[in-house]
Each structure stands twice: as structure tokens, then as C-alpha cells.
Structure 1
Amino acid sequence: MKRTLSTKTIVAIGIGTAVFLILGRFASIPTGIPNTNVETSYAFLALMSVIYGPVAGALIGFIGHALKDAIMWGSVWWSWVIVSSVIGLLIGLGSRRIQISAGEFGVKQILTFNVVQVIAQAIGWFFVAPMLDIIIYAEPANKVFTQGAIAGISNMVTVGVIGTLLLTAYAKTRSKTGSLDIEA
């Protein structure tokens, strides 16, 4: 069976990419560690990954980060672009149990979301990013593991706070399953 992306998902990828780029460019805070910022764009990536799924999350992370790097730095740092894609994919996959479109985002869903996003970011920033930096760019291990740790921890906190608030607000815009009654 051949599966294609819906028009709604394709539009979400385009809009999500643009918002990821804008947030990465204008709403990031330097950490003091070279080339490492606190990024609000990952909270938005998490929101889109939960709503539209792993493929949309992966593409938004990949395209949005690549464009941001190209515009901000004049070149693309592929190891971190790949990590953004992996994080979008993993949050999308891990959040399948969260039925956000059903209007449910209570304590259980918040805990599930945050466990998923912490695991996804730990995999991405603590392991994948530093290893790819070493393999692709021959960067010193102590430097890239420090950058990965700072990026990972700051993104976990940012997504934990802002991402949870975004998902809570989004869930409130959805009708809860079974909440509509038929009038006689």
C-alpha cells in the first residue's frame, strides 16, 4: 500500500519550516558556549511533530535547520541539521499515544510528551550530534560533547516549558471526543 502525505501535512511542513527558521533566527539566546544557543524553535518543532507526525517533524527539523544555517552562517552544519530531523522524527513517533486532536492533554499526556522529548533530545544532542561532528568535521571530542550537552539540556527545558504550553493551548482548541451531544 502506497502512502502519500496529505495536502494538510505538506502545508504544515511548509509553514512549520518557515516558523522554525524564523524562531531559530530571531528567538534564540546565546549560551556562552560557541555556536550553541537556547532555541525556542525546538518547542515549535515538538508541537508540529505531535500534531502532524514523525515525517512532518523530521522534514520541518531538517529543512528549517538547513535554511536557518544557510541564512545565518552562510553554510550548513549538517550534523546538527540531521539531529533536528531526528528529534522531529522521534518526538513524532513517541507521541503517537497522545491524541492531541481529540482535545486531550492532561497530566498523563504531558508526562508522556516530556519523557518522549527528553529521550529524543538526549539521543540527538548527547550522542548523534557529537559523533557526527567528530566523523564529518573532525571536531575535538571534548568541544562537541560539551556543545551537545548544553544544547540538549537547554532544549529539553525549553521544549518542556514552551512545548507543553503550546500543546496545552492547542488541545484547548480541539473538541473533546464525545463532548458533543445531539439535541432532540
Structure 2
Amino acid sequence: MSTEALSPRHSPWTISSRTVVFGAVGAALYAVLGLASFLIPGTQSVAVRPAFALVPFFGKRFGVIAGFFVGFIGNVIIDLIQGAGLLWWNWSVANGLVGALAALIFAAIPPISNEAVRLVATALGALAATAIGMLFVVTDIWFQQGVDFSTFFYVNYLPALLANGIAVVILVPALDAAWEPLAKRAGL
């Protein structure tokens, strides 16, 4: 099995028809599957959304642009369909940053030949991208009344990190392992 996400000939910053197509497909998948979510009681509209695992997966496999596009556009579409409009735009940016950071993190990790170690590194890289990218929601402090640092951290950030962290640690390595033979067959 392959030991790296992007082939050596592709920079994580590459913009090509492949990047655009996979970014659009990923955003559509995330938008549709992301509707299967539920709110965590006691939070300010933080949802458990297993489809979030698609964001760092697409970042890892298809680069910064595709990863950001999947997270940002996918989340915007989910919010629009659920009636929130663009009120929570900063959460969409945070989702996009997770995808972009995942691409950068995985581009920096050297190839790993051991499958088990590769899957653990995939889980940890996706979790790190999620933890760092979701920090952008600190902007809630400036854009919403009544949100101080404590509220941001305990009511917004930690529940989102916990819910999304569980999803990415379990699902991103599973998606990556399932994608590997398909990518080989398709020559991607």
C-alpha cells in the first residue's frame, strides 16, 4: 500500500481539474451526509457530525485547496439547508481550515511503510488539524454578545473538538484505508 497521500509530483497547493473535481465532490458529500447530525445539549449549537471526517480526509488526499473547499463550502451548504444562513460563517471557515491544515500536516509527514503506524499517524494528524483549525471559532468572542473566553472554550470549542475529534480519529483512517486500493486501481 502507498505510504503517502499526495504523490511526489503533486504539491499540497496544486490547483488542477483533479483538485476542483474532488473538492466539489467532497463538499457535496459533506453537505449531504452532514445533515445527519444532532446538537449537543448545553452547547451553543455544536453538532455531532460524523461526516466531518470527510474534511481532513479530502485535505490529506487532495491538497490544501480541496480540503479547504470541502470544509468551507460543505459547511456553508449544511448551514443554508438547516436554515442558519451565513450567521455562523466563522464555523465554516474553521471547517475549511481543518481541511487545509490536514493537507499541510500530511504533506510534512514522511512516508510510512508500516500500515498500522500509517493509520495511527493518519488519526493523529487528522486530530491535530481538527484541534488547530477549530481554534478559529474563538472569533465567536468578538462576533457574538455574551461570549467570553470561558464560554468559547467550554461551550463552543471543547464540545466541537470532542465530537469532531472522535469522528476523525475513527473515520479518517478507515476512509484512508478504504481509499488506498481504489486509488491504486484508478491510478490516482
Query: Shift of residue 75 of structure 1?
Result: 1.5
| Residues 29, 172 of structure 1: alpha-carbon distance in 2 compared, 3 angstrom cutoff | farther
TM-score (normalised: structure 2): 0.79
2:152 to 131, 144, 148: 144
After superposition, what is the alpha-carbon deviation per residue over 1:42-86, rounded to whole angstroms, capped at 9, x for unaligned?
211122111101111011111111121122124121110110011
1:38 to 12, 32, 48: 48
Q: Contact 2:124–2:169 (CA<8 Å) still a contact in 1?
A: no
Unmatched runs of 5 consecutive residues or more in structure 1: 177-184
Is 1:93 equivalent to 2:100 in the alignment? no
Percent identity at matched positions? 24
Deviates more, 1:147-156 or 1:70-79: 70-79
Query: Shift of residue 90 of structure 1?
Result: 0.5
| Distance of 1:98 and 1:110 partners within structure 2 | 13
> RMSD between aligned alpha carbons?
2.3
Query: Shift of residue 24 of structure 1?
Result: 1.5
Corresponding letter in the other structure for 1:138: Q
Q: Contact 1:58–1:89 (CA<8 Å) still a contact in 2?
A: yes
Query: Shift of residue 4 of structure 1?
Result: 6.1
After superposition, what is the alpha-carbon deviation per residue over 1:77-110, rounded to whole angstroms, capped at 9, x for unaligned?
111011001100001111123769xxx7712222
SS of the counterpart of 1:75? Answer: coil
SS of the counterpart of 1:156? Answer: helix
Is 1:67 equivalent to 2:74 in the alignment? no
TM-score (normalised: structure 1): 0.81
Corresponding letter in the other structure for 2:62: Y
Corresponding letter in the other structure for 1:172: P
Deviates more, 1:57-66 or 1:68-77: 68-77
Q: Contact 2:19–2:65 (CA<8 Å) still a contact in 1?
A: no
Q: Contact 1:12–1:56 (CA<8 Å) still a contact in 2?
A: yes
**Paired residue for 1:163?**
172
Q: How does 1:14-53 map to 2 (within 5 A)?
A: 14-25=24-35, 27-32=36-41, 33-53=43-63
Q: How many residues align?
A: 168
| Residues 99, 138 of structure 1: alpha-carbon distance in 2 compared, 3 angstrom cutoff | farther
Q: Contact 1:50–1:95 (CA<8 Å) still a contact in 2?
A: yes
2:17 to 7, 16, 20: 7
2:121 to 109, 112, 127: 112
